[in-house]
Chain A
Amino acid sequence: MDWNKILEFARGPFFNVALLVFVAGMVYRLVRVVSLGWSPDRVPARGSKAKGVALSFLKGILIWPFIPWVKGTFKRNPIIYLAGGLFHLGLFVVIILGTPHMLVWKSLLGIGWPTLPLPIVDWLAAGAIVAMIILAINRVINPVLKLISGPAEWLNLLFVFLPMVTGYMMTHHLFFRYEVLYSLHMLAVDVMLIWIPVSRISHFMFYFFSKAIHGADFGKRAVTP
């Protein structure tokens, strides 16, 4: 098998198609939801909606819920909080502050930025991979997650896991030749990009809706969101 050809395909035409599907799919999802209509809220407010929204996002950015003593629920469900938090942290650092990924962004957007040293990125990537495994195990054990998990939930985990694990192997030249790992990594990324718009991984977009709604609903009642 000519892995160089596969690599060329995976990072060339297939990547472009996947990217197009991703962008078009997400735009479709956004338009579909927004076009369902928003009835105006005529309830007279007691407090400031804007302040509520701002606080809601601030708490989200400051990862408020992950501060152990803030939420009682943390005590009861530390696995989802810690593993979920670690996974997202690792993911964001790797795809934004990892040098190879920054270069991809640069080629797409035309601008680059400073990145973190490889060892830091590498440890966080490893952490994210371990976190995903823990989340997967938890999904099998936790009775609520067992009840609400169907094939889609498992595919979400798989399609995010594959790019991460192949990327990690690539950095460390594990088991296979470099071009093989690179090809597998790119194929996995392409599949994930196509999967995102049809799955709940797209929550990163609707996060901004639900967080804003939460902030506004609490803010107008003069309650801390």
Chain B
Amino acid sequence: MEAQAQIAIDTFLRQTGGYVASQLEACTRCGMCAEACHFYEATGNPEYAPVWKIELLKRAYEQRFTLVGRAKLAIGVDKLITDDELLQFSKIVYEACTMCNKCSMVCPMGIQLGPLIHEVRAGLSAAGMVPQDLMKAVNKQLEEGSPLGMTDEVYESRMEWVADEWEVDLPMDVKGAETLVVFSSIEVMKFPENIAAIAKILHAAGEKWTLSQAGREVVNFGFYEGSEERTVLFLKRIFDAAVQLGVKRIVVTECGHAYDALRWTSYNLMEVPPGIEITHIVGLIGEYLRTGRIKLKEGALDGRTITFHDACKIQRRGGHIEEPRTILGILAPHSFRELSPNREESVCCGGGGGVIAIKEADPVRYAAFELKIQQMQRVGAQTVAMSCSNCRLQFTDCVQHFNLDVKVAGLSQLVADALIEE
């Protein structure tokens, strides 16, 4: 018996309830999902087909829970999962999948392949088969509180610098505030202007908000990795801070998977403290605009052709599809162009799901981005806006890599720049 494989199998089986089993049973092996995957489309590698990415989960399920699976094992049509196979699939599900779940939109049976691939990652993570680069980041978050090295001191000095540089107020650990805002270290370390922008918006809306030293990192590398234990650990840091400060609302800033983890997953993994609403900054800005708490200069961005990239975790899997359209409808009523496909059908940037953290994934990551380039060129985009820093990291890196003449912008930044101060 292969030791690592057994740990993975046990994890697969533990996760297999009706939700997983009924969807595995529904698969007809038609292969249509492949055509939805940006990694398959970009490379033509059949192993990147979403149906293949769940192969280990399917085999473990069949071998344990179905008569046919056992029969196949007995007559040698199927074999037990080996350690080598775990290694082989680790490359596929971590390096060539952003868990964007676009595949579920083309599956004629409607199977949620993204969440199933997450289960595959869970098994591989338990078996210690996470790619080195990703695991290093996980460990860094465990030890330093952030995968990007945003320790207590770094966070403090960085925030002080942002407050000075952009002359904004960044309230820290204010008890009794209404709203806790948690940034991602990507924003703090790479896009600090985002922090200033969001602070300006919150100020303009008259929000009683605070940051938290203990709950400073919204990024959750345990979630990328697929480890339930570490996902919960990182979530708890934020929830504990929220409870301690007595806030009624947690706002996730421009970070996609963190929003998925906090808003759409945490409740099923742990006891989430009651009475705390979780929302995304784009949802909050939408609310401010609806209720008239902030006003924006109409047509502030007209002139340059601007488009919007829908992030898989904030739009397709987050539901904030209309708000960015409302915002850009105000800012650029004449020069806003939709990418095709867009909204819930949008094609992923190629850098999410932890892919951008893995050096070995660079070739497929760049290849997948070429689809985005084609889409942007079709509408003649000069600026591309988005509401996810992970997407933005991928766009910024790829714009440089491919030497493109496109400006990459965070949506909050555009909103902040167009605020009408009263």
Contact = CB atoms under 8 A, between A and B. Distances in A.
B29 A149 contact: yes
Contact of B27 (A33, A143, A203, A215): A203
Nearest to A210: B26
A148 B51 contact: yes
Contacts of B77: 150-151
A19 interface: no
Contacts, number: 148
Contact of A206 (B41, B68, B109, B345): B109
A153 to B, nearest CB: 6
B264 A221 contact: yes
B267 A215 contact: no
Interface in B336-374: 340-341, 343-345
Contacts of A217: 112, 115
Given A37-B17, A43-B264, A80 B29 contact: no
Contacts of B32: 73, 77, 80-81
A223 interface: yes
B344 A224 contact: yes
B176 interface: no
Contact of B109 (A142, A143, A152, A207): A207
A222 B286 CA distance: 15
Contacts of A62: none
B104 A214 contact: yes
Contact of A43 (B35, B115, B267, B316): B267
Interface stretch (B191-199, B290-298, B317-325): B317-325
B3 interface: no
Interface string B297-329: 000000000000000000111110100000000
Interface string B382-420: 000000000000000000000000000000000000000
B17 A147 contact: no
Contacts of A47: 319
B268 A42 contact: yes
Interface in B264-301: 264-265, 267-268
B67 A148 contact: no
Most A Cβ at <10 Å: residue of B55, B315, B319: B319
Given A47-B319, A72-B345, A213 B19 contact: yes
Given A203-B26, A203-B28, A203-B109, A198 B67 contact: yes
A210 B22 contact: yes
A225 interface: yes
A34 B22 CA distance: 8
B35 A76 contact: yes
Interface string B123-161: 000000000000000000000000000000000000000
Which secondary structure dominates chain A's binding surface?
Answer: helix
Most A Cβ at <10 Å: residue of B26, B34, B104: B26
B31 A148 contact: yes
Interface in A168-225: 198-200, 202-203, 206-207, 209-211, 213-215, 217-218, 221-225
A11 B324 CA distance: 63
Most B Cβ at <10 Å: residue of A33, A43, A72, A207: A33
Interface of A: 29, 32-34, 36-39, 41-44, 46-47, 56, 60, 65, 71-73, 76-77, 80-81, 84, 142-153, 198-200, 202-203, 206-207, 209-211, 213-215, 217-218, 221-225
A-B residue pairs, 7 tightest by C-beta: A214-B110, A209-B22, A206-B26, A221-B319, A210-B26, A143-B46, A206-B25
22 contacts: A38-B17, A43-B264, A65-B106, A65-B108, A72-B341, A73-B32, A76-B41, A144-B40, A148-B29, A149-B29, A198-B67, A199-B68, A203-B25, A206-B26, A209-B18, A209-B26, A210-B23, A213-B19, A214-B111, A217-B115, A224-B343, A225-B110
Given A33-B22, A148-B52, A213-B19, 12 more contacts: A33-B18, A38-B19, A42-B268, A60-B110, A72-B345, A73-B35, A144-B51, A148-B29, A200-B25, A214-B104, A217-B112, A223-B321
